[in-house]
Structure 1
Amino acid sequence: MKKGQRGYRLFEDLSSGLFLVTGFLLMFYEVVMRYVFNSPTTWVNEISTMFVVWGVLLGLSLGLRDNHHISVDILYEFLPGKVRRLIDFIANLAGLVFCLFFTYNGIILVGRGIKSSQVSIETGIPIWVYYLVVPISGVMFGIRFLTKIYELRHAPSVEAGKEAETIEHYHAF
């Protein structure tokens, strides 16, 4: 299980990172071609934008994995451990439901792109290729919400941890 988790983490890191870096390198290439060689390209803006969007959407699961998403916890910190766990469960469940909605609609979007046979004007790439990131990122994000729910369900109680800590503290005297 741990090996699979490490492999998945590496996949998340590499997929997001490679798309972002490639997108930014293509943007740099366009700047050099346009302002140094006075020979702008027609395809780089579209492709670099696609790469950056893919990198960002694939990186959503990284933010959740490493707890880097924005959260407001001013009141949350004052709640008892059991209530916090319930709120965490509900929030992660809501996130999972969103991912299911996002993935489902992404699949519909890709299907419509395939059915329409539309291609990009600048590059001639089928439009569904651009849309493919939506269901892929939805699944990756959903996997992270499922992981959070699993960890929350199988983690020891915060209250039990505090009780054990208090007991150890009193035994030290």
Structure 2
Amino acid sequence: MNFLNKIISRAEELLCGLALSFATTFAFIEVILRRGFGSSLGFTQEAVNYLLIFVGLIGASIGVREKVHLGVDLLVKQFSPNLQKGMILFMYSLNILFCLVVAILGYQHVGVLAQFGNVSPEMEIPMYIPKGIVAIAFTLMTFRYLQELIKAIKTPTEELLAEQEGGAH
């Protein structure tokens, strides 16, 4: 599992970095062409939009992995440590369920788009390619939340609560 985790982590980081680099490069080239030469490549705005959505969604998976998502735990802290751990496990379970549902719906949507043969307006690529990122990203987030749930189950209560506080990472 550790080997798979490393491969997925590296792929997430590499793909986000590449997508952000391409988006920045395309936007820069488009500005130069429009301001300097009064012309346009035509596809860059659409490409930048898709690339930034890609970065945001895959970045959300990285955020789950790095535990940088916002959480409101003021209410949770009012309970006993064991109940707090139970609530944390419950929230991870809800996150898994939500991400799994969105991933499944995303894959179904991609299947429908593939059947109809829709293409994007400017780049004229099949729409299931850019829309498929939702399914992929939420699958990755499901995997990451599942990892966190398993880790939380195995971690002693006091240590888990210290991690949730930001004391250990």
Give TM class, smaller chain.
Answer: 0.7 to 0.9
CA contact (8 A) 2:152 2:160 kept: no
Residue number in structure 1 paired with 2:167: none
Pair 1:84 & 2:84 matched: yes
Greater Rg by CA: 1
CA contact (8 A) 1:81 1:159 kept: no
- State the shift of 1:37 in Å: 2.3
Q: What is the TM-score of this pair, normalised by structure 2? A: 0.87
Identity %: 24
Residue number in structure 1 paired with 2:16: 16
Residue number in structure 2 paired with 1:108: 108
CA contact (8 A) 2:96 2:146 kept: yes
Structure 2 stretches lacking a partner, 5+ long: 163-169
CA contact (8 A) 2:85 2:160 kept: no
After superposition, the Cα gap between the structure-2 partners of 1:153 and 1:36, relative to the gap in structure 1 and judged at 3 Å, is same
- State the shift of 1:161 in Å: 9.6
Residue number in structure 2 paired with 1:130: 130
In the TM superposition, what are the counterparts of 1:3-152 in structure 2 within 5 Å?
Answer: 3-152=3-152
- State the shift of 1:22 in Å: 1.6
- State the shift of 1:76 in Å: 2.7
After superposition, the Cα gap between the structure-2 partners of 1:161 and 1:48, relative to the gap in structure 1 and judged at 3 Å, is closer
- More off after superposition, 153-162 vs 101-110: 153-162
Structure 1 stretches lacking a partner, 5+ long: 163-173
